[in-house]
Chain A
Amino acid sequence: MDGQVTKVDLFRGRPRGGRGTLMIDNRVSGGELIERETLTCLHCNSVVVLHPGRTRQRGFCFTCNGYVCDDKQCANDCYSFARSLDLVVADPTIPALPRTKDGGLLFDAELLRKRQF
């Protein structure tokens, strides 16, 4: 399947559009209205609610050109989720989409490295 055009290619070049929004309204129960921006990790596909008061630098992957979360594997290795999707399209039996709790892979990382864009 290497080099073959897949469905994933259709949106690979799509511009990324900033940040998602999370609204939690607890005012009825005496709480407050919370509105936060979110980002999705380009390595594990999980959504991160951004803390507006954070001063530490956020993760960034220069290969994937975007945000990555603080989980150990996500921050230290480029396990691209887009490439994982490519892998699943090629072989659905590979458990390529889920990640371990620290962002690690459930399959052989070599499979991912072979699928270069």
Chain B
Amino acid sequence: MKANVAELAKLPGVWRGGELEHASQPAVPTGHAALDRELPGGGWPSGTLSEILHDDHGIGEVSLLAGAIARATEGDRMAAWINPPHLPYAPAIAQRGIALDRCLVIRPAHREDAIWAAEQVLRSGACGAALLWLAQDDYAWLRRLQMAAQAGRSMAVLFRSTAAERLSTPAHLRVALERGEGMLKVRIPKRRGPPLIHPIALPVGFAPRSRRAVARARVAVAAPAVG
């Protein structure tokens, strides 16, 4: 019986509940070794839908993926930004190592258009990565996006609020982000393997270079306001 289980575990798509699945899904390294170790396949899954859950904005939710996006757009594929909350700022994106000429920003007027555009982008195969802000909770639609991402071998990342953690998802990977002690704390409530409950801390987002310099500046700022 035991031998049978060991053989079963060798089949593609079959893994033991207590372990991470390491084969099958293609993945791109994120550039954060600590995170890659926790992800099945040793990187962010490409060719499928994944979710980033966060309530706070400006905690490095996009910067976390910069390395993966840069890798996913190798071979001259595009990175699509669909319905982002603000304009992606070109100098910053270039700083994070993402080729600007491969970025495509799509800001549709309606929600329906955004979902349509997301499916087109994923299915076309022209985009290696797609970042989606859709405010979409309909399981059937997420399933469609998941199928489209598989068809187009595209890394689809959906940004949602942590309220979505209660809802089921067709995505294979779900990562929850929070900020604490100057680090980005990453929890993985869903992956192919046991969920990661104790968050890992990554040095993502803005790292203060010199707090003292800022403190001085702050005094300088404060002074005229007081006087």
A and B held together in a complex: no
**Which positions in A face B, CB cutoff 8 Å?**
none
**Chain B residues proximal to chain A, CB less than 8 Å:** none
